[in-house]
A and B are shown apart, each in its own frame.
Chain A
Amino acid sequence: MRDDPVVVDLVLRAREGDAAAWDAIVERYAPLVWGVCGRYGVTGSDADDVAGGVWLRLVERLDTLHEPAALPGWLVRTTQRQCLQLLRARKRQIPVDDPEPGARGEEDGVDGEMLMAERRHALRTAFAELPARCRELLSMLFDEPPASYTEISAALGVPVGAIGPSRGRCLDRLRRSRALAALQLA
């Protein structure tokens, strides 16, 4: 994600008023914003509200964003702030006995969030580049709840005994992918 030429290009195009570039930015970073909301327990229409506020702010900032590469960090901090504001407003309206929602300070853990977001983005990119057979197999394995080897065997038409070795080979392919290799070198 750092210094990603794709992101830089998208920001520049959105700045010129290109709505398709903006949509691409939102699609790319929605999981990041969504993930932060989830860790603050903000879900459903509350999360939509927070996202709306975050993206409105980014629309305003677009022209003055000097470092498009700093975008993920800015999104994390802004989302955290909006979540905290929402939680504080809630507390004022409905008095609760609960202790402070977590002991999370403002802008807590931005670096951690970004490292994780970067890693997960790389994992998704690498996963998307795997052969279809690997994607099918791994999806069934990491689903919640995961499919049993018997179910996988029936669904994919492979012997149960071949699933373990295939799983290992697919994960090795994932490790060798360009997206993850870049992450390791960063």
Chain B
Amino acid sequence: MDRGDGVTDVPSWWDDDDRLLEELGHAVREARVPESFVRAGKAAFAWRTADAELAELRLDSLLSAREPAGLRDEPRPDGSGPRVLSFAAGELSIEAEIHPDAVRGQLVPAQSGAVLVRDDDGPVREVTVDEVGWFVIEPVPARRFRLHIRTSAGATVITGWIDARP
């Protein structure tokens, strides 16, 4: 910053006592940020992807429906129900049903936590997982997404990509 070149506004706030006091007031008041605002920022650190274990796809009803009928355990007539996906990481599995209005999912074994929906651009939104393991993502993400899950017990897993409208 070059003082006195007439281009920057430095001299005005710097040299004049009233302006300096005013600017100082702005600076100090601006730092009085609500606690909830700071808390939202601190909480974000729990969503580091570095620590997340990849949950592998175990089942996609869309894919299994395309297999020859004889290979399927449970016949599922086309269009009879929502598309079902299942992911697993260690002991934890994530079941997700894609309905027209929402993605409804469950953690198995049942436990509470939080799910962060991520797309190619980054985090989209966070939803809570209730104590029986259910979560709802509404509406269905328009673009491909993955689910980043944190259980109350502290496990973090992230699923592979899901395209709800393939």
Contact = CB atoms under 8 A, between A and B. Distances in A.
B153 to A, nearest CB: 18
Nearest to A146: B25
Interface string B25-48: 111111101101110111111011
A77 to B, nearest CB: 14
A47 B22 CA distance: 25
Given A22-B45, A123-B23, A142-B24, A56 B123 contact: yes
A144 interface: yes
Given A60-B123, A171-B20, A144 B29 contact: yes
Contacts of B63: none
Contacts of B38: 26-27, 30
A30 B33 contact: yes
B25 A142 contact: yes
A183 interface: yes
A23 B24 contact: no
A22 B21 contact: no
Given A48-B37, A59-B47, A144 B25 contact: yes
B161 interface: no
Interface residues of B, number: 38
Nearest to A168: B17
B21 A141 contact: yes
B122 A60 contact: yes
Secondary structure call for the A interface: helix
Contacts of B33: 30-31, 34
Contacts of A53: 123
B23 A119 contact: yes
B21 A30 contact: no
Nearest to A61: B122
A124 B31 contact: yes
A-B CB proximity, top 5 nearest: A142-B25, A55-B44, A120-B27, A26-B41, A123-B27
A171 B17 contact: yes
A76 to B, nearest CB: 14
B144 interface: no
A38 B1 CA distance: 26
Interface in B116-166: 116, 122-123, 126
A22 B30 contact: no
A138 interface: yes
